[in-house]
Structure 1
Amino acid sequence: MVWIVTITLLLFSSHALCTNPGLKVRVTQKALEYGREIGIQVLQQKLREIQIPDVSGKADVPVIGHVHYHITGIRINDISLPQSAVGFYAGNGIKLSIDNAYIHLTGHWRVKYLFISDSGSFDLSVNHLSISEAIGMTRDNTGRPAVHSAGCTANVGSLDITFHGGASWLYNLFSSSLEGPIHSSLNREICPKVSSAINGLEQHLKTMKISSHVDKYVEIEYSLVNPIAITNIFMDLDFKSEFYSVAQHKEAPFSPPPVSLSEQTDHMMYLGLSDFFANSAGFAYYGAGALHVNITNNMIPKQYPVRLNTSTFRFLIPQVEKLYPNMLMLMNLHANQRPVLKATPNNITIQAYGAIDTFAILPNSSLAPLFVLDICASVSAKMAISEMKLTGSLKLNSLRLSLGHSDVGPFKVTMLQGLLNIAVKAVVLPKVNARLANGFPLPSVDRLSFVNPLLKVNQDVLVIATDIHYGS
């Protein structure tokens, strides 16, 4: 039953209260139904652990006198939980109810009266067992989700005993004395076993990470920024989902926009990932000094006729070839401000701003500065989900150049447009796309995965609608 709650907790929580999240997760009734199927199996195993102590006593029988009996080796052989329901408990958590459950027990009996003793075995059926459990859901002071048993009741129905062996006339002498202790033991032990399942999940949640390293530059914080919001039909969890530089844990100078999700409940789960998620990544990578790349001639595919050397540049900027004849060149492309992602219906675009410092590579391997180009690029992004990671790829839309500084005299930058387009498409974007293909983790409970996720881009938010699967 613990997985009824576990499936809802894909990410985890934060210090701030009542703020817009970077990611909103909505869990629907369909998810609870899937969790119920898994949880009932877990609960059956827990109930099998119930131990009923041996029963001893005596019964006063008219004419015969005292009959001493001993009931030993009582154990549960079978449990059936055929009717169960689970639903949201508005403002509090989740409520599970089980009706018409059945338990089969076996054991041994032994009686003695005067000089007569007899023994045998018995089967006991518990019918019409009902269980009701409220699972409270909160956020602890570390920013992790927390669960607890918010109330449990169990009602053991009728007991039906069948004896085997011995003299049948002896059975009725102690059968009524047997029912009471077993009935009380079951009533006493069922709720603690249910609560044990809940507490097992709580201990599991305490070990979960609320941050994840992405690479040597950045990490992501996953923490709830608001209390868990629970209605009668769904549950919303608001996660910070912000990137930070590993070297410096610095908050982004901008805030997440509101994240809204539709009222649809066709899928088990909906995730609304705001622009803030990606823009905080851009801010963190920029702050970590990771947004730069050196472009050299050997990085340009051989099939391209244009090479990165001064001989090629004599057709574009003649003075480069005159000053540095027949020399290789190097371009250092680097961001001079953070990139900005914008999601609009069915479209994701990224504006990138930077500069290209261009050098001639002298015979002694030192660099001679040539010119600096300011660059503004627009790219389109496509996103996907792969193995619980958000992956992506970029495609160049436009590239605008302007001359920032020149050490070789004035020239028109329009002559460089084609060469730079080749360099960006052949070198820069493949490097960026290789990183995006590795993906950014969407933290989840162990052994939980998305099934057939669908992605849709809305205003300021990427919405992921998905079913889920728990297994190896």
Structure 2
Amino acid sequence: MHENSMLSDSCLGTSSMLGISLDEAAFNSAAAVYFQEGLMHWLVDKVPDQSLLNTARWKYIVPQLYRKYPNDNMQLNLTLTSPPIISIKPEGAGGTITTDMTVNVLDAGESVPVACITVVISVSGVVKISGNNLAGEARLQDFTLNLKWSKVGNFHMFLIQETMWVFLNTVFMPIINSHLRKGFPLPIVHGFTLQNAYILNSSSKMVVCSDVIFRNSTVAAHFPL
């Protein structure tokens, strides 16, 4: 991440007062910190179609699951196995997320892990300025599934592709976007606020171009850097 009192080359030719250059390495470093702090783990027990979290729904797709645990409720334990990989391109941001989804059956008050599926998710993203924060929103582009282990027989991945697409769009992506919308603070001098900010993307880098105002002033006067 680089802040320069001189305008970034990408902001030259504009009237912007400030240019902040952000390399994709900075985003990947931030993602690695969140990963190392154990902040990329979620337990899902509520979904829009709650029948998905009952073994009866999977009676014909995973017969052994239903025979062993008839009409039991389930939970999904989502844990990223590595930090997300973020890329910046002229057309926008993108990323790859790898997560293990462990299926837990709630049997007689006990949570029993019965299977684990590795899901590799490709997303595209829109990066926005929110106040003095850099925020964003991700969209699902594609995913792959691989059965890591199972105690209830084989899972035919092609049979659960459609269900997984719905789950990722209605449950997983909203979880990710709830964090992305909060964003993270840009390196702005205390007391100043970005105004008329916009983002320029290039290969592996984005630049925030903006004017600034002193937010504590009774008059929204512009201050040169």
- Shift of residue 276, structure 1, vs aligned partner: 1.4
Secondary structure of 2:170's match? helix
Contact 1:330 1:359 in 2 (8 A): yes
What CA RMSD, in Å, does the superposition of the two structures yield over aligned residues? Answer: 1.8
**In structure 1, what is the equivalent of residue 222 of structure 2?**
none
Secondary structure of 1:438's match? coil
Contact 1:306 1:419 in 2 (8 A): no
Mark the runs of 5 or more structure 1 residues left unpaired by the alignment.
1-22, 28-234, 237-259
Letter matched to residue 44 of structure 2? I
- Shift of residue 279, structure 1, vs aligned partner: 0.4
**In structure 2, what is the equivalent of residue 293 of structure 1?**
42
Q: 8, 20, 23: which one pairs with 1:274? A: 23
**For residues 159-208 of structure 1, what are the alpha-carbon distances to aligned partners after superposition, in whole Å with 9 as ceiling and x for unaligned?**
xxxxxxxxxxxxxxxxxxxxxxxxxxxxxxxxxxxxxxxxxxxxxxxxxx
Letter matched to residue 378 of structure 1? S
Paired with 1:404 and 1:261, the residues of 2 have a C-alpha distance of 47
Contact 2:3 2:187 in 1 (8 A): no
1:338 aligns with 2:83: yes
**For residues 185-232 of structure 1, what are the alpha-carbon distances to aligned partners after superposition, in whole Å with 9 as ceiling and x for unaligned?**
xxxxxxxxxxxxxxxxxxxxxxxxxxxxxxxxxxxxxxxxxxxxxxxx
Contact 2:101 2:118 in 1 (8 A): yes
Identify the structure with bigger relative contact order (alpha carbons < 8 Å, sequence gap 6+): 2
Paired with 2:93 and 2:13, the residues of 1 have a C-alpha distance of 25
1:430 aligns with 2:174: yes
Q: 1:449 to 1:326 in 2, by over 3 A?
A: same
Secondary structure of 1:307's match? helix
**For residues 440-464 of structure 1, what are the alpha-carbon distances to aligned partners after superposition, in whole Å with 9 as ceiling and x for unaligned?**
1113223211111111221111111
**In structure 2, what is the equivalent of residue 382 of structure 1?**
126
1:353 aligns with 2:98: yes
Secondary structure of 1:312's match? helix
Mark the runs of 5 or more structure 2 residues left unpaired by the alignment.
217-225
- Shift of residue 421, structure 1, vs aligned partner: 2.1
Bigger Rg, structure 1 or 2: 1
Paired with 1:367 and 1:459, the residues of 2 have a C-alpha distance of 46
Alignment length (residue pairs): 215
Paired with 1:353 and 1:378, the residues of 2 have a C-alpha distance of 9
Paired with 2:91 and 2:127, the residues of 1 have a C-alpha distance of 11
**In structure 1, what is the equivalent of residue 12 of structure 2?**
264
Q: 1:471 to 1:321 in 2, by over 3 A?
A: closer
TM (norm. structure 2) is 0.89
Q: 174, 186, 193: which one pairs with 1:442? A: 186
**In structure 2, what is the equivalent of residue 329 of structure 1?**
74
**For residues 138-173 of structure 1, what are the alpha-carbon distances to aligned partners after superposition, in whole Å with 9 as ceiling and x for unaligned?**
xxxxxxxxxxxxxxxxxxxxxxxxxxxxxxxxxxxx
Letter matched to residue 412 of structure 1? H
**For residues 15-73 of structure 1, what are the alpha-carbon distances to aligned partners after superposition, in whole Å with 9 as ceiling and x for unaligned?**
xxxxxxxx22233xxxxxxxxxxxxxxxxxxxxxxxxxxxxxxxxxxxxxxxxxxxxxx
Letter matched to residue 43 of structure 2? N
Secondary structure of 1:262's match? helix
Contact 1:261 1:272 in 2 (8 A): no
TM (norm. structure 1) is 0.44
Instruction: Note the 1:392-403 alignment, pairs <5 A.
Output: 392-403=136-147
**In structure 2, what is the equivalent of residue 25 of structure 1?**
3
**For residues 349-383 of structure 1, what are the alpha-carbon distances to aligned partners after superposition, in whole Å with 9 as ceiling and x for unaligned?**
110112111121102x2122221111110011111
Letter matched to residue 38 of structure 2? G
- Shift of residue 262, structure 1, vs aligned partner: 2.9
